[in-house]
Amino acid sequence: MALAFDDIALLFQRHGGTQYSGEPVTQTEHALQTAFLAEQAGADDELVAAALLHDLGHLLHDHGETPTLRGVDDLHQYAALPFLRGLFGPRVLDPIRWHVDAKRYLCATQPHYQAALSADSQRSLALQGGVFEAGQAQAFIARPHAAEAVRLRLWDDQAKIRGLATPGLAHYLERARRAAAGWA
Ligand SMILES: [Fe+2]
Ligand SMILES: [Fe+2]
């Protein structure tokens, strides 16, 4: 079953007000800030759409507060894919799919990256398989759109700023619509 844009807006309305696990922003604020940072960096419609929707899996499945504290990897990077597949092509879906592996890649390849992660991101890292070994990192970055997933990940990590003003959901859904139209 594919989601329509109205359904996406409804998911944000219904579930976007919940606090992002262990961070000073709501799910919707985190999504908008990630899309905003992508836009500020000059990302195209596909990557802005991926930034907006990268954690949609959290809105589809309510795992309660901070699942990592209970030792649970929620696999949210995959949860939204079946719902988005009818709308978007791989330039949107792949960065969403790989945004957790991108963290494992950045920990392996960028000194200081891991230490700068938030407490919840550090906790989930182990549950998600831990830091990539050299061979895993090489294999990862060779995947299609892995470089875009890494860019998305860096915006994702920053998008936890209390009270940051951004354009609203309608603006970014419009950019996502353009990405969908480009794929159809
Ligand atoms: Fe995520
Ligand atoms: Fe995120």
Chain segment 12-69, per-residue pLDDT in tens: 999 999 988 788 999 999 999 999 999 999 999 999 999 999 999 999 886 555 667 6
pLDDT at 67: 67
Please tell me the distance between residue 159's alpha carbon and the centre of ligand 2 in angstroms.
8
Please compute the mean of the pLDDT values over residues 146-152 and round it to a whole number: 98
Please tell me the distance between residue 178's alpha carbon and the centre of ligand 2 in angstroms.
22
CATH number for 49: 1.10.3210.10
Please compute the mean of the pLDDT values over residues 148-172 and round it to a whole number: 97
Beta bridge partners of 26: 19
Q: Which ligand is closest in space to the CA of residue 80?
A: 1
For the chain, helix, strand, coil in percent to 5 are 65, 0, 35
* Structural domain boundaries enclosing 99: 5-183
User: Three-state SS for 180?
Assistant: helix
Strands (DSSP E) contained in the chain are none
Number of domains in the chain: 1
What lies within 8 Å, CB to CB, of 140 at 6+ separation is: 98, 101, 102, 104, 105, 132, 146
pLDDT at 182: 86
Query: Which helix (H) or strand (E) segment is 155 a member of?
Result: helix 146-158
Reported as a single tens digit per residue, the pLDDT across 76-117 is: 999 999 999 999 999 999 999 999 999 999 999 998 999 999
Please compute the mean of the pLDDT values over residues 121-132 and round it to a whole number: 92
